[in-house]
A and B are shown apart, each in its own frame.
Chain A
Amino acid sequence: MEIQRTVKEMYYRVDPKFKYKVLKAPGGETFKFCYQCGTCTATCPVARFTDIFRPNKIIHLAKLGIRNVTYSDAVWLCVNCYSCTERCPQGVKVADVMRLLKNLAVEDGYIPEFSKEFMKNILNTGFVYSIPSSRISKRVTLGLPPPPQPKLADLKKLGEMVKISELIE
């Protein structure tokens, strides 16, 4: 994880309107209430074991319009456990803001390989993992009913509705 490089790159371009974009999108409405107390970082299970992920810093940078913050690996380290949302004294839905920042990064074409793969798997099999046939035969030996089999045509159509293929190509 080349965080040093990413931080340097962050300062190259400032987009003063970025915060309005975040505020308008669903999940980002509470973002402006952050007053940098750092409760989110203190309660974050990930922040304990890495120096890269600091939710309050990410919110601060996003507020300043340093849009490149969303392009770094940092936002993707959020595990979505909602501890921060639960404890924020200002009622900022921190986990939702992180999710939104990831969504905005994907719109700009910054999508990690694993997310791409998840999306492709869902469209191709209906499940988030590709499933080896040995697991399906194991279900039979254990006496379990056949696994769910989603209609893939349905999923494809839903994907077309939100133009998902443009995001993962």
Chain B
Amino acid sequence: MVNMRYALYLGCLIPFREMNYEISTRRVAKDIGIEICDMGDANCCGLPIDSVNHEMMTLLAARNLCLAENMELDIMTLCNGCTGVLMKVNKKLKADRELRKKVNHQLSSIGMEFQGKIKVKHFAQILADIDVDILKKFIIKPLHSLTIAGYIGCHIFRPSEFMEVKNPENPSLLDDLIKLTGAKSVRYVDEYQCCGFVEGAIEPQIPLFLAREKLRNAKKAGADAMVTICPSCHQVLDSNQRRAERKFSEIYDLPILHYPQLLGLAMGISHEELGFNELRVKPAKLLEYLMEV
């Protein structure tokens, strides 16, 4: 067991549309020994309205950071978008005195102050920072028979200036985590390209094209399933998969799992407890296959 405590920042998509991600994360974190404290007062991270007003985005993110500072805990995020925004604003406010002064003046109207005491980390980054040998002790049912295509998303490693990634053209974060479960991780064309989720609001066809590319390429590479670490990517690849199949008259039938679900399977947790029933593309074949092996 590792002893850690984090304030869990859920964002907007996870608590209402991607509940299986939350269920599996809570379950897996409990077993590993990461204690989760809920942020009851958290608001939207601000990313969706960055294009409307940059200042408002900064304030919304700063408010979330202040809430965690009051709890005296580092933030654990599950969404790439939230991670990107909170990490960036946190770093900018820590480094830029002028900006911090201005933001603190604005925050004083709601009785808050940014002090710069905490860090923001994605669940995947937290796992990657734990010693591999410690994590390996939890893997009691290694998934040697599975071939997994990881889809890391964007904001967790871009822009590399803020996201502390050593090799932004070839981030190994998700690759390493998949290998940890014993599964084989395959590479495929366009694996680091955006899913286009944000485009859904203005030009809904483009995410379908982007999803098609990824699903086809991952299948071609021999993947049994794809793994995401962001609810937006999951929405495009999982919830939109049937729509893409209809549009292009192709059949992909590729289950898209959240990373904690894959890790949970390897840790010997039953799929019911990991929220597999909530997935749109049913992973029945995958689970059957795992039972047989």
Contacts and interface: CB of A to CB of B under 8 A. Distances in A.
Contacts of A127: 12, 16, 43-44
Given A148-B41, A168-B52, A142 B194 contact: no
A163 B155 CA distance: 28
A162 B62 CA distance: 14
A138 interface: yes
Given A103-B51, A128-B48, A162-B55, A79 B194 contact: yes
A82 to B, nearest CB: 4
B50 to A, nearest CB: 6
B203 A77 contact: yes
Chain B CB within 10 Å — which of A80, A146, A148 has the most?
Answer: A148
Contacts of A37: none
Interface in B193-224: 193-194, 196-199, 201-203, 205-206, 209-210
A150 B64 CA distance: 10
A151 to B, nearest CB: 6
B43 A77 contact: no
B106 interface: yes
A80 B53 CA distance: 15
Contacts of B60: 122, 155, 158
Nearest to A73: B202
B22 interface: yes
Interface in A108-157: 111-112, 114-115, 118-119, 122, 126-129, 131, 135-136, 138-139, 142-151, 153-155, 157
Interface string B26-58: 100000000000111111100111111111100
Contacts of A167: 52-53
Contacts of A114: 201-202
A38 interface: no
A79 B43 contact: no
A144 B16 CA distance: 11
B15 A147 contact: yes
Chain A CB within 10 Å — which of B17, B106, B154, B210 has the most?
Answer: B154
Contact of A144 (B23, B196, B197): B23
A158 B110 contact: yes
Contact of B16 (A83, A95, A147, A159): A147
Contact of A162 (B48, B56, B168, B196): B56
Nearest to A134: B16
A88 B201 CA distance: 27
A157 B160 CA distance: 33
Interface residues of B, number: 55
Interface residues of A, number: 62
B56 A159 contact: yes
B53 A164 contact: yes
A154 B110 contact: yes
Contact of A50 (B56, B159, B169, B203): B203
A100 B53 CA distance: 9
Contacts of A161: 59, 106, 109
Contact of B19 (A77, A142, A148, A164): A142
A76 B15 CA distance: 27
Nearest to B277: A142
A106 B53 contact: yes
B19 A154 contact: no
B49 A122 contact: yes
B263 interface: no
Contact of B194 (A45, A159, A164): A45
A27 B57 CA distance: 14
Chain B CB within 10 Å — which of A73, A77, A149, A158 has the most?
Answer: A158
Contact of A45 (B17, B159, B210): B210
Contacts of A12: none
Interface of B: 10, 12-13, 15-17, 19, 22-23, 26, 38-44, 47-56, 59-60, 63, 106-107, 109-110, 154-155, 158-160, 168-169, 193-194, 196-199, 201-203, 205-206, 209-210, 275
5 contacts: A45-B196, A82-B159, A122-B43, A147-B15, A158-B60
